Amino acid sequence: MEFIKNIDVGDTITDFFAVRWIELRNYEGKAYIAIGLGCSKGRINATYWGEDASELSSLLNDGDVVKVQGIGTEYKNQRWLKIERMRKSKPDEIDYEKLLPRGRYSPKILWRRFLKIIDSISDKYLAELLHNLFVADDNIAKKFSIYPAAKLWHGAYIGGLCEHTIRVEKICETAASFYPDCRKELLITGALVHDIGKVEELSIRGFFDYNVRGRLIGHIVLGASIVEHEIAKIEGFPKNLSTELIHLIVSHHGKFEQGSPVEPKNLEAMILHHADMLDAQAEGIQHIIQRDIQRGEKFSEYIKILGRFIYLDGYRAEKHDDNTDEK
């Protein structure tokens, strides 16, 4: 998979790729496919001139996974792939960890850390709830361990949702130690479930995207519904505890204009909101640094979601230049 970034003219490659985009085109009466391919290590544009181009294009859509055999070529000073053979992959051939962006840690390592946090909860009701959600429910567990935290901004990689949740929990755990009235286990449980709705909001194909329920309802409402449904199965679950836990979920974006149905109204909800915001912003900026630092500029490209540029020079080799403003 790493080969896709460095394919040279004449190099051959046979591998599985996600379809980023696909178009059936015509050149002097002959149909051909123009297609964008991607994997966890990069993207490349390609063409397919086979006699079955029209038929094949009708079988493929954005997000599908294809097995490709091709050779590196060049077009307008850019590397392209001339596809010699191509077919749609079978379900058991697809490995999304190889096709989609990956983080620093494997999903298996992150999931073990996540389960260890669950094991630390001593309140019998909260512990049972977390066990039912993340251990007993294989569907939620499988999705939560590999899903991204977002489509583009932060944690947009395999395992990003679990990693984001772990970091938010660690921030909350530290904050709880500063405030005597903070109910730590309520806060930690809220941190673990605050984004659980994303397993129903997002979908994974050859790329990350929002599904219909995600766009129409959103992960906050979906998450509250998932947790309330599981709480209803636990005999004797305290009503006030249930209400406050749901409040943590529905208020974690902090403000109405940021998608929260309500604003934080207790100490734990306030801490969770700022922990979530801190990690999302910091992880997003971390991504910008890694993406743009190779450009050699002092600042990143304009970041629309933040409404600003990010200063990059400080993340290169340490400099002691008193005249940086002159450059």
pLDDT in tens, 285-304: 988 898 888 888 899 989 88
Q: What is the pLDDT of residue 8?
A: 81
Angle CA(31)–CA(32)–CA(34) in degrees, nearest 5? 140
Contact 271, 261 (CB under 8 A): no
Is residue 94 packed enough to be buried (19+ CB in 10 Å), middle (13-18) or exposed (0-12)?
Answer: middle
Inform me whether the pLDDT recorded for 325 exceeds 60.
Answer: no
Q: What is the pLDDT of residue 5?
A: 63
C-alpha–C-alpha distance, residues 258 and 188, integer Å: 22
Output 219 or 13, whichever has higher pLDDT.
219
Output 134 or 80, whichever has higher pLDDT.
134
C-alpha–C-alpha distance, residues 277 and 137, integer Å: 28
Q: What is the pLDDT of residue 321?
A: 53
Inform me whether the pLDDT recorded for 2 exceeds 60.
Answer: no
Give the phi and the psi of residue 41 in degrees, each rounded to 5: -110, 5
Percent of the chain with pLDDT over 70: 94
C-alpha–C-alpha distance, residues 247 and 171, integer Å: 19
SS (H, E, C) 40-84: CCEEEEEEECCCCHHHHHHHCCCCCEEEEEEEEEEECCEEEEEEE
Inform me whether the pLDDT recorded for 320 exceeds 50.
Answer: no
Domains observed in the chain: 2-93 (2.40.50.140), 100-286 (1.10.3210)
- For tokens 């679990």, name the residue: 162
Residue 1 confidence class, pLDDT cut points 50, 70, 90: very low
Inform me whether the pLDDT recorded for 156 exceeds 70.
Answer: yes
Q: Which of 40-49, 111-120, 132-141, 147-156 has the lowest mean pLDDT?
A: 147-156
Contact 68, 82 (CB under 8 A): no
C-alpha–C-alpha distance, residues 4 and 16, integer Å: 11
Inform me whether the pLDDT recorded for 224 exceeds 90.
Answer: yes
Q: What is the pLDDT of residue 22?
A: 92
Output 317 or 39, whichever has higher pLDDT.
39
- For tokens 């392209």, name the residue: 80
Residue 324 confidence class, pLDDT cut points 50, 70, 90: very low
Q: What is the pLDDT of residue 24?
A: 94
Mean pLDDT (the chain, rounded)? 89
Distances from the Cα of 103 to the Cα of 149, 155, 180, 291, angstroms: 11, 8, 35, 13
